[in-house]
Amino acid sequence: MNDINWSCSKTYSDQDYALTFCPRDPKNCGAIKEFVFEERNATQALEVLNMTEGETCNFKIKSKCGSPAFSVERLT
């Protein structure tokens, strides 16, 4: 995003949470919007494809034990 003051919802004071209401295209972002990790060291891969400037993908990641962590890899 180019404008840090922009969000898809002004209802929430948390800007990151407000962005979860942005439109998302399943063909770019995939069908799964939310991941819940039930146990330690669980993993989940996701792929974001063919995004153009201005498009967004958002995911809600939850963990029932420990703090979730992630890494981003750019595949060419």
Predicted confidence (pLDDT) per residue in 37-65, tens digit: 898 888 888 888 888 877 778 888 888 88
Domain tally for the chain?
A: 1
In angstroms, rounded to a whole number, what is the distance separating the alpha carbons of residues 22 and 43? 25
The confidence score (pLDDT) of residue 53 equals: 78
Does residue 3 lie within any of the structural domains?
no
Does residue 31 lie within any of the structural domains?
yes
**Residue 27: which residues within 8 A CB-CB, separation 6 or more?**
49, 50
φ and ψ at residue 35, rounded to 5 degrees: -120, 135
Tokens read off for 30: 């995939």
Domain that holds residue 39: 25-76
Q: pLDDT digits over 7-36, tens only?
A: 677 777 877 777 777 777 888 888 888 889
Does residue 74 lie within any of the structural domains?
yes
**Residue 8: which residues within 8 A CB-CB, separation 6 or more?**
18, 19, 20, 21, 22, 23
